[in-house]
Amino acid sequence: MNKSHLFGRISMNIPISRKNIFSSVVILFVTLFSSVSVAGEWRYGPELPGERHSHTATRLSTGEVVVIGGEETGAVYLDSAIVFDPSGSTYETATGRLHESRSEHTATRLRDGRVLVVGGTASGGLILDTAEIFDPATGMFAEVGDRLNVGRRSHTATRLPDGTVLITGGTGSVDGDRSRLDSAEIFDPASESFRLLASRMSSARSFHTATPLRIRSGLYRGAVLIVGGTVAFPAELESDIYVPRRGGFEPGGSLVEARRMHTATRIPPPPDDNPGRLPINVLIAGGNNSTNQAEIYDFWTRTFSLTDATTFNHKDHTATFLPGRKKTKTPPSVLIAGGRHYLGLVPDGSGGEVGAVGSLDASEEYSAWHHEWGYPGVLGTSRVYHTATRLTSGEVLVVGGYHFDGSDPEVITTALNSTEIYTP
């Protein structure tokens, strides 16, 4: 695939010149006053009631999306939630509020449609060991009586086939000291209780990923792949697999490149590929500050191998699975958007140089069957710490985030109240 057409369309960081600011205003004006959805393009959606980054966004059984917690500019932690209604393309503030303001938490939809909110960070950097449940029917939050065995932020939470939720790793407070965690817990919705697992991951992890492999039968039914993260620097190479039927972890294989703040998305094989045992593959993209390498994980061989590289390095970006269309023979794909981007070395003001990063407006789309990246368009605003949620229509809703340019101190660093929608 020819990638050269991308250059010149995507800015390497947020707009900083008057010309770019003017262009951005024009784009915003056009998209806001146009109801036309163009396939393969981004458009602005309705504005949020306020700024928000490091929040969660969870699609409900109704097709609505609930956006919970996060922060405003200046480390102002939020206890509010808003609900996006795709039918009217509007936001409404939820009736209830979180019992504790929180950021860097997780939000997991339970079998009954409620949403479990776990851990995170509160004002003053406090790591939370509390959980709450959002009820879409009432718009209210209820505290979970039981507490996590260890307070966690930057952890993962994954619903298992039996309806329980696996919570892994993160950064926690142990005996008064902050450290990365190698422990995991199971939340049982029936008893609303947390149970610390005896089994531990191979390494302590924070900013890692946990991906359901969607195995429906046998020993590995419900297995979850745990990849990367930070123990110290550099990031972690080894992966783990959580096996629900064993109630513990086993080795998953070693990444080609250590990474954290990456994404991991299960991708299906082509319909005519290997009529015997179907492959189980996961796309690993981005992470670190300067890697363009992407990898494919093969569950049956427990190996990672390099695939087509991204044009830009993405970190703290989002990844959204797009199922494709049978009628047009469009293959399934993975859309990655925004994130943190390494800008290279810039003067440090004292005669030396220092590495700089900035938020990114690039999006890239990986074809699950052709194993290559394409370019579905450019975000209207560069952003990191945002969320991306696939709607029932197949479109992707990107909410809030944060934009900055580490190479230019005059650029205003701020949280965002804008949203964008991608039409596949």
For 48-97, write each residue's pLDDT tens digit. Answer: 999 999 999 999 999 999 999 999 999 999 999 999 999 988 999 999 99
**Sign of torsion, CA 50 52 56 58?**
positive
Tokens representing residue 190 in the block: 């029936």
Separation of alpha carbons 229 and 207, rounded Å: 5
pLDDT of residue 36: 61
**Pairing state of beta strands 372-374 and 353-367?**
antiparallel
The separation between CA 384 and the C-alpha centre of its own chain, rounded to angstroms, equals: 10
Mean pLDDT of 177-206: 95
Predicted local distance difference test score (pLDDT) of residue 277:
75
**pTM for the structure as a whole:** 0.89
Is the Cβ–Cβ distance between 40 and 376 less than 8 Å?
Answer: yes
pLDDT band with cut points at 50, 70 and 90 for residue 23: very low
Q: Is the pLDDT of residue 275 over 80?
A: no
Q: Which range has the top average pLDDT, 70-84, 367-381, 400-414?
A: 70-84
Tell me the two tokens of residue 216.
């429906």
Confidence of residue 235 (pLDDT cuts 50, 70, 90): confident
Question: What's the CA angle centered on 175, arms 171 and 181, to 5 degrees?
Answer: 25
Q: What is the CA radius of gyration of the chain?
A: 21
Who's near 277: CB < 8 A, 6+ residues apart?
A: 300
| CB 383 within 8 Å of CB 416 | yes
pLDDT band at residue 131, thresholds of 50, 70 and 90?
Answer: very high
pLDDT at 386 over 70: yes
Mean pLDDT over 107-132 rounds to: 97
Q: Is the pLDDT of residue 347 over 70?
A: yes
In this structure, the number of other CB atoms found within 10 A of the CB of residue 216 comes to 9
Pairing of β 177-180 and β 171-174: antiparallel
Q: What percent of the chain has pLDDT over 90?
A: 75
Per-residue pLDDT at 17: 40
Average pLDDT, the chain: 89
pLDDT at 232: 63
Tell how strand 184-188 and strand 41-44 pair up. Answer: unpaired
